[in-house]
Amino acid sequence: MSGGPRLLIVEARFYDAITDELVRGAVDALTRHGAGYKRVIVPGILEIPAVIRFAVRAMELRATDMRFAGYIALGCAIKGETDHYEHVCTQSMNGVQKMALQYSLAIGNGILTCPTEELAMSRARVSEGNHGGRAAEAALRMIAVKKELGL
């Protein structure tokens, strides 16, 4: 167990290869900063905000001794032939932002919304876009900002 902050990584496994890269980048960044983490797997990006809320509620109820200083949302939506993509992207992004604002949470959003699988993989790869690592860095920075502001 590290001495740094502990974060919850919520990973949507709909596109496994892309999510694997996102998680790899996030874990690398957290490890570099001495942060601990727990991973929770959900089926798709729509479920990510609910799991973040579950974790907050469990802490409120003292139903668990697991406390998280921040959260990392990882997953991917790729545009298909119907408008389902737009709804899923909008709802998941709004849900993550709502959790951050309503509960003053430090969240790094690494949910990719891409027109093609190739673009998503490029953004996810640690050697290219490293959006998982960037989401982890964002969450860590937001944790620091909360501390700076006395939260």
The catalytic residue among 33, 84, 87, 131 is: 84
Question: What is the three-state SS of 128-145?
Answer: CCCHHHHHHHHHHHHHHH
Q: Are 92 and 111 in contact (CB under 8 A)?
A: yes
Q: How many helices, marked H, and strands, marked E, lie in the chain?
A: 5, 4
Annotated catalytic, 87? Answer: no
d(CA 11, CA 9): 6
When computed from its CA atoms, the radius of gyration of the chain, rounded to whole angstroms, is: 15
Looking at the annotation, which residues are catalytic?
A: 84
